[in-house]
């Protein structure tokens, strides 16, 4: 049973990896299609995508407390929803 759970967790982790990879690739493609490579917004977008990728890799390489990470990700989710769905004054 324990081995089955480990395989299931690993399968789920690979699914998350694929989602992250596809999202980063999609954002890169959107920037590439819509903006000239010399455009400052393109360059800033690429820098942000690279920083996000590096941060995700750093997070995965370290042995952090899963509860702490979940709490921080929930905070991030709330902040993003607030920025995306509520008008700012």
Q: What is the pLDDT along the chain (89 residues), one digit of tens a residue?
A: 566 666 677 788 788 888 888 988 998 999 889 889 899 999 999 999 998 888 888 777 777 777 877 888 888 887 777 776 765 55
Helices (H) and strands (E) in the chain, counts: 3, 0
Q: For the chain, how many structural domains are there in total? A: 1
pTM for the predicted model, two decimal places: 0.60
Q: What pLDDT, on the 0 to 100 scale, is given for residue 88?
A: 56
Burial 12-43 (b: 16+ CB within 10 A, else e): eeeeeeeeeeeeeeeeeeebeeebeeeeeeee
- Confirm if 31 and 45 have CB atoms less than 8 A apart: yes
Range of the domain at 77: 2-85
pLDDT computed for residue 9 by the predictor: 76
Distance CA 45, CA 31 (A): 7
């Amino acid at each position: 049973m324990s081995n089955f759970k480990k395989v299931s967790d690993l399968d789920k982790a690979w699914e998350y990896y694929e989602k992250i990879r596809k999202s980063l690739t999609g954002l890169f493609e959107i920037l590439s299609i819509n903006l000239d490579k010399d455009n400052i917004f393109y360059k800033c977008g690429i820098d942000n995508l690279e920083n996000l990728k590096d941060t995700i890799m750093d997070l995965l390489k370290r042995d952090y407390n899963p509860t702490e990470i979940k709490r921080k990700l929930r905070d991030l989710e709330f902040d993003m929803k607030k920025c995306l769905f509520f008008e700012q004054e």
